[in-house]
Structure 1
Amino acid sequence: MPFALYLLALAVFAQGTSEFMLSGLVPDIAHDLRVSVPAAGSLTSAYAVGMVVGAPLMAVMALRWSRRRALLTFLIVFLLVHVVGAVTTSFGLLLATRAVGALAGAGFLAVAVATAAGMVPPDAKGRATSVLLGGVTVACVAGVPAGALLGQAWGWRSAFWAVALISVPAVLAIVRSVPPGTAGGAEGGPGARGEARALRDPRLLVVLLLGALVNGATFCAFTYLAPLVTAVTGMGAGAVPVVLALFGAGSFAGVTLAGRLADRRPGRVLAVGGSALLLGWVALAFAAGDPVAVCVLVFVQGALSFGVGSTLISQVLYVAVGAPRLAGGFATAALNVGAAVGPWAGGVAIGSGLGFRSPLWVSASLVAVALAVALAGACAAHLTGRGAAAHRTGGAAATRAGR
């Protein structure tokens, strides 16, 4: 893999850290800026909404630019708003920086997905995607805890400074390694209308829906792992970072392994991995009272969740080969829709009095729906293929009879 691809992954790591790090910084921000804890919590919501809305919008806007210009613009804006966030004393301005930072991050990821695929041979898109998304998994393992530790040691502003500094090497890498290129589509490609036409493929809509469902299941369970570990498993609060780190380590392993298989056997990865993912959430729900089983299954589920998820993203690029940027934008949006809906659904289940195991059952249900959708899509494609073949055979027979 090109070294520049790993530096793009570094930028994705910074953005993933920024997206999730506030979970450990909200109380300090609320105290420092004299707002309520729920108000400070809205900083996370603003980022999530910006990612969902911004991914397709920024991808469309970036079609007028070369990939290098788009990547540099989005990353520099992302860097600067974190500098502003680190020095501001206004909660309103901090909230605005979160929204703008999310828009820039969404645009960067959408273009980075297409750029990563363009850096490698046509049959290596899955591995390139896995390297890029490795930045997100490393953010879960190291970036978020490190942000919390920085906040405890030097205040919440230091975490914002750290995210800005981590982005600098990626800016330099883009300047040196990504060619200037030309504007319009994929470096002189079909442009906005051409890419929009390529997005009409029903297979793409199915893959995007699958991505949203699988990611919804992932973040539904991940969001409520802490209360599950303390209230159901009976482990102390000190075990929570260990369990979260196990999930992140599994995620990194899953992305790495899937990257080596997704290009050659994507169907097998999705079928076997998706089925195992469903069984794993069910097993974790039943075994949540056993600390050893929880630790093992959390690692396995992290690997399966991100392995299947990264494979789905690479399949978006294969299906929408004529719309790499818009496809990347919609893939980013689909994943963030899942990341928003999953925790909400898990919270509804807990709020209904179903206990802290209930998010695991919600995750299992979302994966079950994904498998049903995938099966229905495969059956529809098979029937369509048979119908087309019968039509061609009938037409050939009619031609021969006419002769």
Structure 2
Amino acid sequence: MPLPLYLLAVAVFAMGTSEFMLAGLVPDIAATFDVSVGAAGLLTSTFALGMICGAPLMAALARWWPVRASLLCFVLVFAVAHVVGALTTSFAVLLITRVIAALANAGFLAVALSTAATLVASDQKGRALAVLLSGTTVATIAGVPGGAVLGTVLSWRATFWAIALLCLPAAFGVMKGIPARVGKTARDTPAGSSLRIEIAQLAMPRLVLVMLLGALVNAATFATFTFLAPIVTDTAGMGELWVSVVLVLFGIGSFLGVTLAGRLSDQRPGLVIAVGGPLLLLGWFALATLATQPVALLLLVFVQGTLSFALGSTLIARVLYEAAGAPTMGGSYATAALNIGAAGGPAVAAATLGANANDLGPAWVSGFLVAVALLIALPLRRFIAPRVGQAIR
């Protein structure tokens, strides 16, 4: 894989740490601002909503800009938003900074995904996506648990400062490592690839279908991931520092899942869906049932991290394939699919907190969302994931 892909993954690591870190900080943020845990958890949904709206908007604005300049601008805005978030004493201001950070993250990821697709052969988009998403999975292994420890030892504000500092080497890597002429802008696309034509790609049934499935699987992932902290401490009765251990296990599993999917999603996407989907469904229901047992919880978190990211990244790779007719906007469609799920999952899961399911409501929500995805995907598996070289009309 080309070196620029790995440099982009470094920036994705910094941004992924910010996107996921709230999973270990929700209780402390709720206490600081005197709001409910459910309300604090919606900071994740707010961030994701900003990315949903920001992905197509920022991609449309940046399609005429040089790729390196766009990426650098997005990283710097992201850093400033975290400085303000670390300083604020207002929950409303914190929400606003999360939206601004999300817009910057969305713009960066949309441009990076579109660029990644141009850096590799046409049949290696899944592997390129795996490299980029490795930044996210390393964030769940090191960045997010590290932020949870930092938040436990110092405060959640310290983690925001740490994210701002992480953006500096990411910006340096973009500035020095990304060639001035890399990827595609609107000037580089065929005359017929106007913004209107690229947006019209969203009328393609197969593209819409894989975006929907990717959103459902990611919603299931975030529904439980966002509320892992109370599951660990309240349901399983483990200490606060165990939250970091659980996040590390989830991160290691997600890295393994992305790596495996990177090798299979280009050539055998249907196999990943047919095997990984049912296993993921069983895993969520097992977690909802066995989370009171610490050993079972630790094992299942690792397994679910692996399966969630293997299946999710495979579906997002399919989005990039189906959006080949949108060379400057395709990355934003993949980003939107990811974050529709990241917004919807925690929002639905938050509604179950305090109900009869208590802290395990999110796990049941995850299982339900995967079940819906499978009911759609399995009968249409050959349509949404044709073998290489197989044309389906």
What TM bracket, shorter-length normalisation?
0.7 to 0.9
Q: Is the 8 A contact 2:71 2:111 kept in 1?
A: yes
With 110-119 and 168-177 compared, the bigger mean Cα shift is at 168-177
- 1:184 CA drift (Å): 4.1
Q: Which position in structure 1 is the counterpart of 2:81?
A: 81
TM-score calculated relative to the size of structure 2: 0.85
In structure 1, runs of 5+ residues without a counterpart are 383-387, 390-403
- 1:113 CA drift (Å): 0.8
Q: Deviations for 1:131-160, whole angstroms, at most 9, x for unmatched residues? A: 111222222222123224444556555433
Q: Deviations for 1:241-285, whole angstroms, at most 9, x for unmatched residues? A: 222221121111111111111111111112211121112222333
- 1:29 CA drift (Å): 6.7
Written as runs of structure 1 = structure 2, the 5 A alignment for 1:184-263 is 184-185=185-186, 187-189=188-190, 190-263=193-266
Q: Which position in structure 1 is the counterpart of 2:179?
A: 178
Q: Is the 8 A contact 1:26 1:37 kept in 2?
A: no
Q: Deviations for 1:5-42, whole angstroms, at most 9, x for unmatched residues? A: 1221111111122223345556777888xx54458777
Q: Is the 8 A contact 2:23 2:226 kept in 1?
A: no
- CA 1:170 to 1:237, structure 2 compared with 1: closer, same or farther past 3 Å? closer
Give distance in 2, aligned partners of 1:40 and 1:291: 25
Give distance in 1, aligned partners of 2:91 and 2:65: 33
Of 334, 337, 350, 2:337 maps to: 334
- 1:162 CA drift (Å): 2.4
Written as runs of structure 1 = structure 2, the 5 A alignment for 1:1-400 is 1-22=1-22, 35-37=33-35, 44-86=44-86, 94-151=94-151, 156-176=156-176, 177-180=178-181, 184-185=185-186, 187-189=188-190, 190-378=193-381
- CA 1:43 to 1:380, structure 2 compared with 1: closer, same or farther past 3 Å? closer
Give distance in 2, aligned partners of 1:147 and 1:57: 30
SS of alignment partner, residue 272 of structure 2: helix
Q: What amino acid maps onto 2:16 in structure 1?
A: G
Q: What amino acid maps onto 2:283 in structure 1?
A: G
- CA 1:22 to 1:256, structure 2 compared with 1: closer, same or farther past 3 Å? same
With 58-67 and 364-373 compared, the bigger mean Cα shift is at 58-67
- CA 1:67 to 1:370, structure 2 compared with 1: closer, same or farther past 3 Å? same
Give distance in 1, aligned partners of 2:288 and 2:155: 37
- CA 1:131 to 1:380, structure 2 compared with 1: closer, same or farther past 3 Å? closer
Aligned length in residues:
382
SS of alignment partner, residue 55 of structure 1: helix
- 1:336 CA drift (Å): 1.6
- 1:325 CA drift (Å): 3.6
Q: What amino acid maps onto 1:327 in structure 2?
A: G
Give distance in 2, aligned partners of 1:233 and 1:81: 35
- CA 1:7 to 1:376, structure 2 compared with 1: closer, same or farther past 3 Å? same
Q: Is the 8 A contact 1:10 1:166 kept in 2?
A: no
Give distance in 1, aligned partners of 2:172 and 2:198: 29
- CA 1:150 to 1:282, structure 2 compared with 1: closer, same or farther past 3 Å? closer
Q: What amino acid maps onto 1:161 in structure 2?
A: W
- 1:308 CA drift (Å): 0.7
Q: Deviations for 1:35-91, whole angstroms, at most 9, x for unmatched residues? A: 544587775554233122111211111222232232122222222333444456776
Q: Is the 8 A contact 1:186 1:325 kept in 2?
A: no
Q: Is the 8 A contact 1:50 1:100 kept in 2?
A: yes
SS of alignment partner, residue 70 of structure 1: helix
Q: What amino acid maps onto 2:133 in structure 1?
A: L
TM-score calculated relative to the size of structure 1: 0.83
Q: What amino acid maps onto 1:278 in structure 2?
A: L
- CA 1:182 to 1:255, structure 2 compared with 1: closer, same or farther past 3 Å? closer
Give distance in 2, aligned partners of 1:288 and 1:44: 23
- CA 1:156 to 1:8, structure 2 compared with 1: closer, same or farther past 3 Å? same
In structure 2, runs of 5+ residues without a counterpart are 386-391
Give distance in 2, aligned partners of 1:182 and 1:296: 41
Give distance in 2, aligned partners of 1:232 and 1:40: 19
Give distance in 1, aligned partners of 2:226 and 2:252: 16
Q: What's the C-alpha RMSD, in Å, of the aligned pairs?
A: 3.0
Give distance in 2, aligned partners of 1:3 and 1:320: 24
SS of alignment partner, residue 253 of structure 2: helix
Q: What amino acid maps onto 2:248 in structure 1?
A: A
Q: Is the 8 A contact 2:124 2:266 kept in 1?
A: yes
